[in-house]
Amino acid sequence: MRRLVATCHGWVDHTPALDLYYALDRLSAVYTDAVTVTDPAMLELFPRLRPARLVFVQNAMPDRPAPTPEQRTLARQRFAFPDGATVIGSMGRLTKNKGILDILAAARRTADDPGIVWAIAGSGGGAGSVAADVESCGLANVRYVGYADSEAYLAALDIYLQASYFEGLSLSLLEAMRAQVPSISTRAGATEFAIHDRREALLIDAGDIDAIVRAARALHGDAGLRDALGRASRTRFDAAFTIARQHAAFLELYSG
């Protein structure tokens, strides 16, 4: 073995097993040639025991073409999203960390606007869970689609919403960029590395429900801005987040 490269992971959850994993992961880092992270902020997880190299290698997604207008139409029909409405959708685990309760609060504040529909895709929970809150919210402007095929779901959206309090470099966000869908995203984790405010997305602070509503109404009323942000998102994806670029970064690391 010429080089030993480790990858640092981070989760919002804390259990005895995960905490033990974290400790072993950090302590063993000094025996590797390099450690890669998917979020630049994760470099700070090694304040005392630094390995030979700490390297930021961003997440990536397979390169696929953006959905065609025909594919978007079929996708909207598949999910029964109303014609003419601006559909704002989230995708991920149904937890408080993902800001799902904030999305429901934003939906309540726009309940008087039939032109804005909020879609939530994901799973997890049971009685007393965030998923149960979504299923029982009773809001006519909320569509809960459960676990869904991400490509078809994103093709059906007008706007992707990341309301998370904590992220690394979100794969769901990268999928939305690849699908040429404009985003409203919280400044969580490496999000500001992936996208920039008013260039590829509208960025907001986590927990700011008023900001979610303002951004939703702004994009709902400006199709030109939605189109411009969506196209810029796809350009940014092509430039930075393809598998080919990630492969080149890892190849350089292993061979260097």
Question: What does the pLDDT look like over 176-215, one tens digit per residue?
Answer: 999 999 999 999 988 999 999 999 999 999 999 999 999 9
Q: 26-30, 85-89, 131-135, 220-224: which range is least confident on average?
A: 26-30
Higher-confidence residue of 5 and 175: namely 175
Coil, strand or helix at 45: helix
Calculate mean pLDDT across residues 136-160: 96
Residue with tokens 């009685």: 127
Average pLDDT over residues 130-143: 94
Whether the per-residue pLDDT at 172 is higher than 60: the answer is yes
- pLDDT score at 10: 66
Q: Where in the chain is the domain with CATH 3.40.50.2000?
A: 69-240
pLDDT at 56: 85
pTM: 0.90
What residues contact residue 205 under an 8 Å CB cut-off, 6+ apart?
Answer: 186, 187, 211
Q: How much is the mean pLDDT over the chain?
A: 91
Over pLDDT 70: what percentage of the chain?
Answer: 93
**What is the C-alpha separation between 65 and 82, in angstroms, rounded?**
25
Residue 28: the pLDDT is: 82
CA distance 64 to 101: 32
pLDDT of residue 70: 97
Question: Which two tokens mark 174?
Answer: 């990268």
Q: What is the pLDDT of residue 183?
A: 98
What pLDDT does 159 receive? 98
Q: Could you tell me what percent of the chain has a pLDDT over 90?
A: 69
Question: d(Cα 92, Cα 29) in Å, to the nearest integer?
Answer: 30
Mean pLDDT in residue range 44-60: 73
pLDDT of 47 strictly over 60: no
Write the class of the CATH domain 69-240: alpha beta
- What's the pLDDT score for residue 140? 96
Burial (CB < 10 A; 0-12, 13-18, 19+), residue 235, is: middle
The residue to which tokens 């025996």 are assigned:
31
Binned at pLDDT 50, 70 and 90, residue 127 comes out as low
Phi, psi values for residue 188, rounded to 5°:
-115, 135
The span from the CA of 88 to the CA of 219, in Å, is 10
Q: Which residues pair with 242 in a beta bridge?
A: 61
**pLDDT value of residue 3:** 81
The residue whose two tokens read 């966000």 is: 173
Given this model, what pLDDT does residue 126 score? 60
Q: By three-state DSSP, how is residue 157 classified?
A: coil
pLDDT over threshold 90, residue 245: yes
Mean pLDDT highest for which of 4-13, 128-137, 142-151?
142-151
What is the pLDDT, as a whole number, of residue 164?
96
The per-residue pLDDT for 125 is 66
Q: Which helix (H) or strand (E) holds 117?
A: strand 116-121
